[in-house]
Structure 1
Amino acid sequence: MKNDPSNAAPGSLEAVRRFVDTHDIYNGRDALADVESATACLVAEGLLGKGRPMTAHDLSVLRDLRVALREMAAANTMGEQPPHEAVDAFNDLTAPHALSVRLDTGHGSVAASLQPREDGVGGVVAALAAAVHEAVLMGTWTRLKSCDNPECRWLFYDESRSRTARWCSMRGCGSMVKARRYRDRQRGRAADAL
């Protein structure tokens, strides 16, 4: 997986970003291509323990969750509400997996977090759902965006003041998309002149 610190999201939202980016559209790589590679990837990311083996159904759930999260992040890019289908898919995929509230004390205060109550892929799904929940409450969710370059769609965290970033990298995807749009406009003008 691409690990660009400039795209990193805060806290547990980074796990969501990295999970969605297991599908590297630009380079044609998918870390969730099969059960073996998905298991290795999620173990390496610290999302999955080495216990219960993953099934083909588990892999399907993870891929569907990844699609829903990417679609919701793409809506953030455009400043829109996420599509109902993506939200419904997220809700349906995460509903069967239990979370519990965990309280921790330290430094004179109490902190609360949601923790998965199961291991395996169910725990991965629950942990990602908890991260989305926390990001929505903290106001960071809408800054998690999908690159507006259709050949990339890499997730990134928008650090801009205006919250209007549309590309994972202005030098890379931003320049490429702007140049493509410029060439398209030039061709359109040339066609209109004929």
Structure 2
Amino acid sequence: MDNDPSNAAPGALEAVRRFVDTDDIYNGRDALTDVASATEWLVAEGMLDKDRPMTAHDLSALRNMRDALRALAAANTLGGQPPREAVDTFNDLTARHTASVRLEVGRGATAVSLEPREDGPGGVVARLAAAVHEAVLTGTWTRLKSCDNPECRWLFYDESRSRTARWCSMRACGSIVKARRYRDKQRRGTANTS
């Protein structure tokens, strides 16, 4: 819902956030509705070469990956274990695609990254998996969260010192959810006294 640049994640994790947010639940828009729209979005994001064909099977795998990533980020929001089904889906989808370790050395520093070894939709899955891998290693993964407003679920990067943010925007979703909970509590209190 809140596409505020301050919600952006660092490095390659931003690609994961943007990919999951192709399903804009709040506004009812999905950039991965069909092969043509998915190809258009992935090409615009620089994740797919426009000459690489995508099939309905590829689209289904990308949508499953998106759902698994959203469920994993939701677990970060709640501070719990991710659902086994989401973990299994992520593992199954990423096991089909390869990446290689790339070592960069220069000016007294050494960096290592995973690079997809294929193009096309499989390369998109491998790139997303590599970004998650990097985020887990750097400790940024647990800050990628899914808005706790069930009508939103937008991914955001939690910059709060306490790492306890639950909404993509406190002034939008946070206020909506808190007001809803207050009204529900008031209704339950009224029903209990009747």
Quote how far apart the aligned CAs of 1:52 are: 1.6
Rounded Cα–Cα distance in structure 2 between residues aligned with 1:112 and 1:189: 57
User: How far is 1:191 from its partner?
Assistant: 1.2
Residue aligning to 1:76: 76
Q: Distance in 2 between matches of 1:47 and 1:75?
A: 26
CA contact (8 A) 2:38 2:59 kept: yes
Question: Equivalents in 2 of 1:113, 1:2: separation in Å?
Answer: 30
Distance 2:117 2:19 in 1: 20
1:121-152 per-residue CA deviation (whole Å, 9 max, x = no partner) reads: 01000000000000001111111000000000
How far off its partner does 1:103 sit? 1.6
- C-alpha RMSD of matched pairs (Å): 1.2
- CA drift of 1:112 comes to 1.3
Gaps of 5+ in 2: none
Report the Cα offset of residue 50 of structure 1: 1.4
CA distance in 1, matches of 2:143, 2:109: 28
Q: Tell me the residue number matched to 1:135.
A: 135
TM-score by length of 2: 0.97
Aligned counterparts of 1:8 and 1:158: Cα–Cα separation in 2: 9
Q: CA deviation at 1:104?
A: 1.8
- Where does residue 102 of structure 1 map in the other structure? 102
For structure 1, the residue ranges without an aligned partner over 5 or more in a row are none
Helix, strand or coil for the counterpart of 1:150? coil
Give the 3 Å change call, closer, same or farther, for CA 3–188 of structure 1 in structure 2: closer
Amino acid aligned to 1:40:
E
- Cα deviation, residue 106, structure 1: 2.4
Q: Which amino acid aligns with 2:108?
A: G
Are 2:77 and 1:67 aligned? no
Rounded Cα–Cα distance in structure 2 between residues aligned with 1:76 and 1:16: 14
Pick closer, same or farther for the CA change 1:189–1:3 going to 2, 3 Å.
Answer: closer
- Paired with 1:160 and 1:149, the residues of 2 have a C-alpha distance of 18
Report the secondary structure of 1:110's partner residue.
Answer: strand
Matches within 5 A, 1:109-128: 109-128=109-128
Match of 1:167 in 2: 167
Q: How many residues align?
A: 194
User: Per-residue deviation at 1:3?
Assistant: 4.2
Name 1:153's counterpart in structure 2: 153
2:149 partner SS: coil
- Equivalent position amino acid for 1:93 in 2: L
SS of aligned partner of 1:161: coil
- Does residue 15 of structure 1 match 2:15? yes
